[in-house]
Structure 1
Amino acid sequence: MTPTYIPFNKPYLSGNETRYIDEAVRSGKISGDGMFTMRCHQFFEQELGFKKVLLTTSCTDALEMAALLIDIQPGDEVIMPAYTFVSTPNAFVLRGATIVFADSYALSPNLDPAQLEALITPRTKAIVPVHYAGIACDMDPIMDLARRYNLFVIEDAAQAIDSYYKGRKLGSIGHLAAFSFHETKNIISGEGGMLAINDLQFAERAEVLREKGTNRSSFFRGEVDKYSWVDYGSSFLPSDIIAAFLWAQLENIEDIQRQRRHIWQRYYEALRPLQEIGVGLPLIPDYATNNAHMFHLVCRSLAERTALIERLKAENVHPVFHYLSLHTSPFYAPKHDGRVLPHSDHYSDCLVRLPFYYELTDANQDFINQLLLEFYQQ
């Protein structure tokens, strides 16, 4: 029987979100750095072992803080994949940086580290690997290049909560990292993000930038007798209402992840035969774990992807394509150095993301898989 509607995403409430929001409201403090923000910080630092974290209003804000922290100046160059969301380059473009786009692997949307050294110039300031679908970039060669050329590494870990590289948490390897808790992510707060600070030389200044350029956090800890404007900054900290929602999710991270991995594995087992005809499935390298952020297919052409999406939507199933290559975007194409990035363009034309959310039932997933297999049999 055809389901009435299967959306691409559906935000999941684990149980205590509205109760904790009510608690935050009743506490009398719903601005930033309230009791739920502190609980979230403690969870990431004490339970997950990050050196220091700061919740932000978005992953975009965390990336913008990172650009400020490494003191990006006009003319600096920052290397990153072309196949990513606009927030990744925007954070650095806002500071005047030139973006140097790198291509993806042939078999994975992640950045290919083998290309990087040829892109490094005396103006290069940072490398920004993006862990696409929560699957780790190959970080050892990236960090080795950073050490040899004295560069910063900022992990765009927007999709990478609860994912690992050679036993190390994604977001804990580079100097800084940015996470997202947008409603399409595994752990959500509607909008929301986090800056992870792995090089503690940035810790004190990060607090200042996040508090509009003031030393307000030091004041509330009793370290100074008044707070003042001491640096650049903006209002990057989220309301404690957002943190209250996030805390309810974090309490249930193991259950959420268990269910997402169940959904991911069912897609993989059912759709594995498509590989035999050249349709791409997600690739998990030996050095990476799978946090089940998404499940995607890589069609063989743009026309095939268009027809597939139309076929599924005709049955009330709503897949989506993903990024468009940023080096060919209307904004950045005139600034790009002209290199062709064929793998990034291939994913822009051919990658399709399937419906994926906690409450996706086995029956609905079976229906999606049946439609996909029938489409390719025809």
Structure 2
Amino acid sequence: MKLECPKPNIPFNKPFFVGKELYNITQAVMADGHISGDGRFTRLCHTWLQEKLGCPGALLTMSGTAALEMAAILCDLQPGDEVIMPSFTFVSTANAFVLRGAVPVFIDIRPDTLNLDESLIEPAITTRTKAIVPVHYAGFACAMDEILQIAAQHGLLVVEDAAHAMLSTYHGQYLGTLGHLGCLSFHETKNIISGEGGALLVNDPVFMERAEIIRDKGTNRSRFFRGEVDKYSWVDIGSSFLPSDLIAAFLYAQLEQGRQIIDQRSRLFARYTVQLEPLARSGVIQLPHQDTACSGNGHIFYLITRSMADRTRLIEYLKERGVYAVFHYVPLHSSEAGLKYGRVSGEMTVTDTMSDRLLRLPLYYEMTEDDVDRVAELVTAFYRVNR
């Protein structure tokens, strides 16, 4: 009698190597003798980001959170100033501005893209509004033409939270490069990774000199290293936002293979779409919206189920069969800190509904097409008996 081997578990996410990560780290230690911040690999990453993305300046940070915190400082916010953002986002989006004394003003999201609803921005603007923070959920673009036009009409800054959106585009431009400032994340759950890590994209050169100062503990050390001053000193507020060159060494290996990584994830995303389209046509799930104006990056493949109860049952069904799917954000406007530090503009019906029903399926670089097929078959089997 032949015994079948149990199928291996499929995790939600898995960190990965693409080639030269460990070699680069060794080079930083043995050849360069430099593992603190702003070494050779940091400079290589800066050059890659500026040349590939087409932005005037890029600065590696310890995390996407750190990039957002730097952006909030650069917005020169005063206590009581307001920043418009979606509630359906990670806490860092709001925390960065709350730390500067600003008030997050939460608006609802669109039911198709799950990005902030651009039609709700102007009703949320007051005399205290200083910035808009579009969050490109799952790597798909917010309506940036409309957002930038509103910002220009009202004299507001635009800070893109592009943590999900590395190498996604909008009308041919990379997300994170459209606003005054853009924030990227290289956390191990993202497409291109360094464990922890992020980058601030400085798209308006007026912010560049101060961004360097803030990132380097409030000193003008960058100008000193360029020979522009004969000594450096404390000139502004700041913190130690720059990462170790070991992180940059790992990241640079991934950046060099960035297109390969995105193409692989996009293939898996497309395969999920094909496999699950029959369920979407039957009305039991909603699949990610795809707009021809935006090329995504295969960051998150999600389903919108019919109800929270439906989602809970599906998560348990998959887990019992070795597949780990998860939900996403608890809306910030209903969280303890959100109620304390922020305020809501208008109804939050879509945010509340979608956050209760959204389910993320496994998607990672080393996932195989067979893995995708297995997950899709299980989702289909679940709905075969749960219609």
State TM-score, norm by structure 1: 0.98
Alignment partner for residue 75 of structure 1, among 55, 64, 80? 80
Q: Give distance in 2, aligned partners of 1:57 and 1:201.
A: 23
Q: Encode CA deviations 1:184-238: one digit per residue, 9 max, x unaligned.
A: 1110000000000001100000000000000001001111000010000000000
| CA displacement, residues 79-135 of structure 1 (integer Å, 9 cap, x when unaligned) | 000100000000000011111101011222111100110000000000000000010
Any gaps of 5 or more consecutive residues in structure 2?
A: none
1:286 counterpart SS class? coil
Is 1:112 equivalent to 2:98 in the alignment? no
In the other structure, the counterpart of 1:201 is 206
Matches within 5 A, 1:309-320: 309-320=315-326
Aligned to 1:157: 162
State yes or no: 1:140 paired with 2:140: no
Alignment check: 8 A CA contact 1:183 1:191 kept: yes
* 2:337 counterpart SS class: coil
State whether structure 2 residue 295 is matched by structure 1 residue 295: no
* Letter of the 1:16 counterpart: K
**4+ residue runs over 6 A deviation:** none
| Alignment partner of 2:18 out of 14, 17, 22 | 14
Q: How does 1:84-95 map to 2 (within 5 A)?
A: 84-95=89-100
Identity %: 54
Q: How far apart are residue 48 of structure 1 and its match?
A: 2.9
How big is the shift at 1:251? 1.1
Distance of 2:65 and 2:180 partners within structure 1: 17
Q: Which whole-Å CA distance do the structure 2 matches of 1:256 and 1:73 have between them?
A: 41
Q: What is the number of residues matched between the two proteins?
A: 378
C-alpha separation between the residues in 1 aligned to 2:353 and 2:258? Answer: 34
- TM-score, normalised by the number of residues in structure 2: 0.96
- Alignment match, 2:375: 368
What letter corresponds to residue 346 of structure 1 in structure 2? T
Separation in structure 2 between the aligned mates of residue 257 and residue 34 of structure 1, nearest angstrom: 27
For residues 165-192 of structure 1, the C-alpha deviation after alignment (integer angstroms, 9 at most, x for no partner) is 1111111110001000000111000000
1:214 corresponds in structure 2 to 219
Indicate the residue corresponding to 2:102 in structure 1.
97
C-alpha deviation, 1:338, in angstroms: 7.5
- Residue of 237, 243, 255 corresponding to 2:248: 243
Contact 2:113–2:140 (Cα < 8 Å) also in 1:
no
Asked if the contact 1:100–1:119 (Cα under 8 Å) also holds between the matched residues in 2, the reply is yes
Deviation at residue 312 of structure 1 after TM alignment: 0.2
- For 1:122, the aligned partner's letter is T
Letter in 2 for 1:292: G
Give the Å deviation of 1:70: 1.1
Pairwise CA RMSD:
1.1
C-alpha displacement of 1:340: 3.3
Which of 27, 36, 39 lines up with 1:34 in the alignment? 39
Answer yes or no: is the 8 Å Cα contact 1:138–1:287 preserved in 2.
Answer: no
Q: Whole-Å Cα distance in 1 between the matches of residues 280 and 99 of structure 2?
A: 41
Measured in 1, the distance between the counterparts of 2:36 and 2:244 equals 5
In the other structure, the counterpart of 1:49 is 54
Secondary structure of the structure 2 residue equivalent to 1:345: helix
Native 8 Å contact 1:3 1:364 kept in 2 = no
CA contact (8 A) 2:301 2:363 kept: yes
State the distance in 1 between where 2:364 and 2:345 align: 39
**1:225–1:162 distance in 2 versus 1, CA, 3 Å:** same
Q: Structure 2 CA distance, aligned partners of 1:112 and 1:288?
A: 16
- CA distance in structure 2 between the partners assigned to 1:231 and 1:305 by the alignment: 49
